[in-house]
Each structure stands twice: as C-alpha cells, then as structure tokens.
Amino acid sequence: MGIKVDRVVVRHLRMPLVHFFETSFGRTTERDIVLVEAIADGLSGWGEVTAGENPFYNEEWTDAVWLLLQDYIVPRVIGRELASAEDVAPLTNHIRGHKMARGGLEAAVWDLEARQAGVPLWKHIGGGARREIPCGVSIGVQDSVAQLLKKIEKELADGYQRIKMKIKPGWDVDVIRQVRQEFPGIKLMADANSAYTLADTDRLKQLDEFYLMMIEQPLAHDDIIDHATLQAQLQTPICLDECIRSAHHGEQAIAMRACGIINIKLGRVGGFLEAKRLHDVAQKAGIPVWCGGMLEAGVGRAHNIALATLPNFVLPGDVSASKRYWARDIIVPAVETTPQGTIAIRDSPGFGYDVDADFIRSITVREQTITSGESRN
Ligand code: OSB
Ligand code: MG
C-alpha cells in the first residue's frame, strides 16, 4: 500500500504523577513526555517517546529526545515513500543509541499504517494471541516498609496478578523478607535497575530464599557477561531489562545463559520492528517475555497493550491502569483493568483509544511542526 509521512508534530507534555515513583536511580514526581504525531493524507498516527526526564535509566532524556527528533530522526523519514512501517527503523539506524527517541516516531508510523488499513494496531503488528493481557504492577521504593505493605495490599485487592518491588542496597533482603511474611503466596519479583555488582553476589543469593519469580537487571545497565556469571550462582531466574537493546543482545544473553526471562520495552529497543524480532528470538529459545513500562501516558500505554498480545508475552507485565499514574490521562477512555487483573484489548483502528486533544493542548509545554526533510546528515 505504501505510506508517506508529510508532517510530524512533536509535543512536549508535562504531567504530574499521582504518586512519586522511586527506583535505585532516583525519584520521579512529574513526567516530561514527548508525543509524536505523524500525519499522512490528513490521517494521524501517534507515538510516545518513553525516555525519562534525566539520563539515569539509560542515556536518553526529554531534552535530548526533543533535539534528536527534529535534527536527525524526523528529517530522515518525512516525505519518503515507504513500502511499510517496517522501513522506519532502518532509516534511523545510523544514529547510535537513542532508541527511545527513534522508537517514538517508529511507533507513530505503525499506528498510522494500522489506521490507514482500518485495523487495530494489535492485529497490524501480528498480535492477537489473547483478548486480555495479564497485568502486574511495579511498586517503587517507599518511605517505609509499612507503606510498601499497604500499597501491595491495595494492588492485590484491585486484582493485579503479580507484584514487582524496586530494590536497592539498603532496601532489599530485609524488606523482601517482611513482604514475604505478610504475603507468602503471591507472585513476587524484584527490580534492582542495575544497583549491584558481582561483589554483591552473596547478598543477591540470599534472595533465593524468597522464591521470587525473577530478579530484574541486578547488575550494570550495559552488562550481559556478569549477569551470566551471577545467574550460574542463583536459583532465581534473572530477567534482563536495561542491557537488552536489540534482538541480537537477546540472542547473546540467551546463548550465554545470562537470563531466564526478558522484559521487552518498546522504546528501549527502538520500536515495534525490533520488539517483534526480540520477541521471536526469545520464543524460539523457550524464554518467556513480558511487557515492561516506563511510566507511560496513554499513547505509550496503548502501544504496550498491543505489543503484549504477541504470543510469547506469557507473563504478567508492568502495564497497568491509567489511574495508578494520572489524575487524567491523554486518551479516552483511560486504560482500565478487569477485576481479574487484565486489560481487555479494543477493536477500533490504530491503538484503539481516542486522543484527548483539548487536554493535550492544556499540558503542552512546547510544540513543533516539521514539514520538510532538512537533516543534519
Ligand atoms: O525498570 O522497569 C523499570 C519505571 C521507570 C524506569 C524503569 C522502570 C520503571 C518501572 C515502572 O518499573 C513500570 C511502569 O509501571 O510503567
Ligand atoms: Mg526494569
């Protein structure tokens, strides 16, 4: 069919979180999100860049994303005759890293192409293995253990199928022990966001006692090899997040036995094309995957829901209801969960929700329309 993007609008939105979210690398109270609208023949597709406000999860952050999209990413794609959305990722492959910025436009073009074809995005990417995706929640480091226990109780009452808690040195073994005492039967896991090194191996081995589903990214953000060394000494499966930026990294980690599970994040790998490849690599190797989150607003959340309908997303992910993050989301209706802790997929074209244009306008910090392909490269 072919697709030619003739205009791209990038918007920088500022959205306060309902509750702060704290990881081993810092506390977030307010999100600065770059939204990408790709337009062709009067039809819009939407993408959300999943980078954080600071270069702490990976090297990306809002202000860098803003420049990259305008100077390098959009100019490479705009005005070109593309055979399909699959052509977008290769056009920006010359950029080192910055996959979240690249993935924001890539996802927008997938959404646009799905709308042109009049099909839901989940179908367009080859998903649809399930009508409801299983949901877990990610709970940040809290100010007290009592507060953490209270939060877990509330999420379980809301039906969420597994609890992920953030850990860091000083908020790990003792805290997990108390959680396990209180909730011996729940599906529980821990995410360290790269807060440990192999020198902490003895400490990490103590976690085996708590029969966690997995421990996520305990070691460096750019390491695979040390994770293999650690995995050989742990009973608990390691799940890799930060260090898997491509399907090839997934292949290497699996070959080295560095992990038993992979967290797939759309932005971290640069969009749907690479996320699908990573999914396929893991599936072929018998490694289950789940869909991670980056505190997304509704557009990114809806894309994650579509992604999580691919067959090998068999574990509950970090995609949860809008109201856990936002007083008001940028899509209508907001993302909601069923009492069984699932999100039902929707059948309207594209990502399946309406964009709340008035609300988006009211929270836009800056906006730029790009119409021509003048690139720095
Ligand atoms: O490591 O999965 C992570 C949030 C920000 C940065 C990194 C991570 C997270 C989460 C939250 O765990 C997932 C979510 O609820 O969106
Ligand atoms: Mg993680």
pLDDT tens for residues 151-188?
Answer: 999 999 999 999 999 999 999 999 999 999 999 999 99
Classify domain 123-354 at the CATH superfamily level: Enolase-like C-terminal domain (3.20.20.120)
Residue 197 per-residue DSSP state: -
Q: How far apart are CA 305 and CA 308, in angstroms?
A: 5
pLDDT at residue number 366: 98
Q: Which atom of ligand 1 is nearest to the CA of 263?
A: 2
Q: Give residue 377's pLDDT band: very low, low, confident or very high (50, 70, 90).
A: low
Buried b (16+ CB within 10 A) or exposed e, 154-181: ebbebebbbbbbbbbeebbbebbeebbe
Q: In what order do the strands lie in the sheet with 26-40?
A: 43-49, 26-40, 7-23, 364-370
More confident residue, 1 or 99: 99
Collapsing DSSP to helix, strand or coil, 313 comes out as: coil
Among residues 48, 86, 58, which one has the least CA distance to residue 303?
48
48 close to ligand 1 (CB < 6 Angstrom): no
Angle of the 272-285 helix axis to the 298-307 helix axis, nearest 10: 30
pLDDT tens for residues 85-103?
Answer: 999 999 999 999 999 999 9
- State which fold the 7-118+356-371 domain adopts: Enolase-like; domain 1 (3.30.390)
Q: Give residue 376's pLDDT band: very low, low, confident or very high (50, 70, 90).
A: low
Q: Which atom of ligand 1 is nearest to the CA of 28?
A: 5
> What's the pTM?
0.97
Per-residue DSSP letters for 202-243?
A: HHHHGGGGG--S-EE--S-TT-SHHHHHHHTT-SSPEEE-TT
pLDDT tens for residues 279-323?
Answer: 999 999 999 999 999 999 999 999 999 999 999 999 999 999 999
Q: Where are the domains positioned within the chain?
A: 7-118+356-371, 123-354
pLDDT tens for residues 18-63?
Answer: 999 999 999 999 999 999 999 999 999 999 999 999 999 999 999 9
138 close to ligand 1 (CB < 6 Angstrom): yes
* 216, pLDDT greater than 70: yes
pLDDT at residue number 372: 81
Among residues 49, 80, 76, which one has the least CA distance to residue 64?
49
pLDDT at residue number 342: 98
Whether omega before 333 lies within 30 degrees of 0, making that bond cis, reads yes
Structure tokens at 50: 């999943």
Q: How far apart are CA 177 and CA 167, in angstroms?
A: 12
Residue 315 per-residue DSSP state: S
Mean pLDDT of 338-347: 98
Q: How far apart are CA 337 and CA 136, in angstroms?
A: 10
- Rg value, the chain, Cα: 20
Q: Near ion ligand 2, which residues have CB within 5 Å?
A: 191, 216, 241
Closest ligand, as measured to the CA of 21: 1
Structure tokens at 206: 């103590």
What contacts 359, CB < 8 A, 6 or more positions away? 328, 330
pLDDT at residue number 374: 67
Which residue has 């910055």 as its token pair? Answer: 98
pLDDT at residue number 330: 98
**Catalytic residue numbers?**
166, 265
295 close to ligand 1 (CB < 6 Angstrom): yes
Mean pLDDT of 195-212: 98
More confident residue, 235 or 375: 235
User: Mean pLDDT score of the chain, rounded to an integer?
Assistant: 97
CA 358 to chain centre: 26
